[in-house]
Amino acid sequence: MEATSSTTSTTSGFLSPVISNPLFDRVRNTYRTFHEKRESLGLSNPGTVEKISKEVDQDVFLNNLAFTGVRAEFNKVIGVSPMFQLSHAFAMGAQGMPPYSYNAMYGSSKHFLQATIDSDLAVNGRFNRRITNALVTKFSVNLPQDSMQQPMLQAEADYNGADFTAVVKSMNPSIFNGGLTGMVIGSYLQSVTPKLALGMEGMWQRLDMQHPPDVMMSYVGRYKTREWIASARVLGQGAVQASFWKRLSEKVEAGADLNLSFAGMGNPQAAMMGAPGKEGVATFGVKYDFRASSYRAQIDSQGKMGCLLEKSIAPPVRVTFSGELDQWKQQVKVGLAVSIESADPELMEQQQSMTEGPSIPF
């Protein structure tokens, strides 16, 4: 006890010139005033820079949902709390998809694990862990069977503050080539007002030690109201992306996206070599939600038209139709998928009776 008291007094005596310094008191008071003012604004977490336009890209557009060929998925729910699910997927005539893949998924309030192996013996894995309520770490690995493709290892740390989000991501880092190689991405998004959020993202990439590293910066902004959301991203290399989302009614939402590229804006050598002056693509999409189905459609300035229809035939059976028409290339792509989910009645009742708790760190 006496040793503890003597240690505390020694530490206090050592730091007393710093703590009792008028400059330290002024800095501390300034920080407290700034913190109180910041809390009084009622700011909320703005999300991540990567999902700055998620309402358009993920909710309305079908860029990540469109497919070709015929697919069938069989999902078996084994557990709800914690979540445990197995699935078998079959594909025929689908571009970029193996004929068969097996997937296992496990999730709790602190962990999320997912592993996939397909008929080509390619292995994918993900592991997420919630360290605290604000900090989540994510790891993923991709081991392709094709020797022409490079394996990928990715590590990520997400910190979700009360009114900001900071993300650090690394892809294929290595120090065994005589120096640091790979890719490192860092982003920060801060709520400035209850409706406006501003942020930036930086990327550092070096493929090997024989070439200098590449650095790219981008700046983002997001303005959100109750009825519409607008976001924009500006890249230092001379590209601008803007999106707009609006809820037209309770079951109808629409989105628009504009991508502009100005060659030579961030690279004078490209302009001197006669690179194209500017390029642009505009896309418009709409989504309708019905009682047991949803319909998405989009069209862009390059002559592409697409639609996606998801319909629940029965509670465990869901059918998806995908179609795309490229008028300039005279190409048509069509896809049909059937998904069947199986679960014991006891698990369904358990899921319905569960109270809302900490979410799974997907």
Instruction: Work out the average pLDDT over 323-334.
Output: 91
| pLDDT score recorded for residue 149 | 82
**Burial letters for 58-76: b for 16+ Cβ neighbours within 10 Å, e otherwise?**
eebbbeeebbbbebebebe
Contact assessment for residue 301 and residue 313, using Cβ atoms and an 8 Å cutoff = no
Q: In angstroms, what CA-CA distances link 142 with 94, 96, 102?
A: 20, 15, 15
pLDDT at 351 over 80: no
| pLDDT score recorded for residue 194 | 92
Instruction: Work out the average pLDDT over 263-284.
Output: 63
| pLDDT score recorded for residue 146 | 80
pLDDT in tens, 144-195: 988 778 899 999 999 999 999 999 999 998 888 778 889 999 999 999 999 9
- The helix/strand/coil state of 360 is coil
End-to-end CA distance of the chain: 47
| pLDDT score recorded for residue 5 | 47
Q: Which residues pair with 167 in a beta bridge?
A: 158, 187
| pLDDT score recorded for residue 41 | 78
pLDDT in tens, 6-62: 444 444 555 566 566 777 777 777 777 777 777 777 899 999 999 999 999 999 999
| pLDDT score recorded for residue 9 | 46
pLDDT at 306 over 90: yes
**What domains does the chain contain, in order, with CATH numbers?**
41-353 (2.40.160.10)
Helix H or strand E segment including 6: helix 2-19
pTM of the complete model: 0.83
pLDDT at 110 over 80: yes
Q: Which is more confident, 188 or 329?
A: 188
pLDDT at 270 over 60: no
pLDDT in tens, 212-256: 899 999 999 999 999 999 999 999 878 999 999 999 999 999 999
